[in-house]
């Protein structure tokens, strides 16, 4: 009887560990592809804005970020619908990651809107360092996501976003757009690839444990 209870307890612990592992794997897997997609969009848009702004001297090329946001939002909705249609229930970790980036996006939009409000007292447009602010928020959101997913390798990439914000404060507008592109590459594309590799490696290790093969 005692042996049966012990086996039942061990089996319960194994089921719990397996459920936790699957939940973390799903969160990491679901986050990796969107990170790469958004990172590529930011890289392409940042380089395009930097080149076009520098070639024409017209800052209105920054409106390309609005186009990028629209494309990214459509991708987000399609991906969200596919996930829920597949019967995958949202976990607490996935909700934390989702709302962290949602708040990042909303605060960034408010910062852009504020920068477009003229200063009536000074009769000029206020200077708001949008790119450095966005990069700072980017670093914070990336750090939260890294903590939730426990991918310690990605903390370094979040720190690089802070360094990018510091560089952007010293650069001109066109250079800041390029800095943003590099932040997208270093803080989204590369970490997304790292996460995909870790998921692939963990799946292999899990399969090895189950089969008992070396």
Q: pLDDT tens digit string along 100-133?
A: 888 888 887 777 666 655 555 545 555 667 888 8
Higher-pLDDT residue of 19, 65: 65
- Which parts of the chain fold into alpha helices (H)? 2-56, 64-85, 92-115, 130-149, 155-170, 173-184, 190-211
pLDDT band, very low/low/confident/very high, at 29 (cuts 50, 70, 90) = confident
Contact 166, 158 (CB under 8 A): no
> Which tokens is 66 given?
């609005």
Give the SS3 label for residue 187.
helix
Instruction: Report the pLDDT value the prediction gives residue 44, as an integer from 0 to 100.
Output: 94
The SS3 of residue 91 is: coil
**Mean pLDDT (the chain, rounded):** 77
Confidence band for 60, pLDDT divided at 50, 70 and 90: confident
User: Is 3's pLDDT higher than 60?
Assistant: no
What 3-state DSSP class applies to 119?
strand
Quote the CA–CA distance of 27 and 100 in Å, as a whole number. Answer: 14
pLDDT at residue 138 above 80?
Answer: yes
- Give residue 42's pLDDT: 92
pLDDT at 25: 66
Q: With a cut of 90, say whether residue 58 has pLDDT above it.
A: no
Neighbouring-strand partners of residue 124: 119
- Decide if pLDDT at 2 tops 70: no
pLDDT of residue 46: 92
- Whether residue 1 contacts residue 154, with contact meaning beta carbons closer than 8 Å, is answered with no
For the chain, the domains span 2-211
pLDDT at 70 over 70: yes
* CA–CA distance, 143 with 160 (Å, rounded to integer): 11
Does residue 51 or residue 89 have the better pLDDT?
51
Global model pTM greater than 0.85: no
Q: Hey, what are 74's tokens?
A: 């459509």
CA distance 39 to 139: 14
Give residue for tokens 């802070």.
Answer: 162
CA proximity to 141, closest of 91, 101, 111: 101
CA distances from 169 to 61, 128, 138, 179 (A): 20, 11, 15, 10
User: Which among 84, 73, 72, 108 is positioned nearest to 30, based on CA atoms?
Assistant: 84
Straight-line distance from the first to the last Cα atom of the chain, in angstroms, rounded to the nearest whole number: 34
The answer to whether 151 and 28 have CB atoms below 8 angstroms apart is yes
């Amino acid at each position: 009887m005692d042996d049966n209870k012990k086996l039942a307890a061990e089996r319960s612990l194994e089921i719990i560990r397996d459920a936790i592992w699957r939940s973390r794997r799903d969160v990491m897997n679901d986050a990796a592809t969107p990170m790469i997609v958004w990172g590529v969009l930011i890289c392409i848009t940042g380089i395009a804005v930097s080149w076009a702004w520098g070639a024409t001297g017209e800052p209105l090329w920054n409106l390309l970020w609005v186009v990028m946001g629209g494309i990214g939002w459509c991708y987000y909705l399609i991906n969200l619908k596919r996930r829920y249609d597949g019967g995958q229930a949202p976990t607490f970790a996935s909700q934390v990651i989702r709302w962290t980036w949602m708040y990042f996006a909303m605060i960034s939009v408010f910062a852009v809107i504020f920068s477009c409000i003229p200063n009536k007292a000074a009769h000029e447009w206020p200077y708001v360092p949008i790119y450095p602010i966005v990069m700072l928020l980017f670093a914070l959101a990336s750090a939260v996501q890294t903590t939730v997913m426990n991918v310690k390798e990605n903390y370094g990439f979040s720190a690089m976003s802070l360094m990018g914000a510091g560089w952007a404060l010293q650069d001109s507008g066109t250079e800041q757009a390029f800095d943003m592109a590099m932040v997208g590459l270093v803080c989204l594309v590369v970490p997304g690839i790292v996460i995909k590799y870790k998921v692939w490696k963990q799946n292999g290790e899990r399969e090895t444990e189950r089969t008992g093969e070396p």
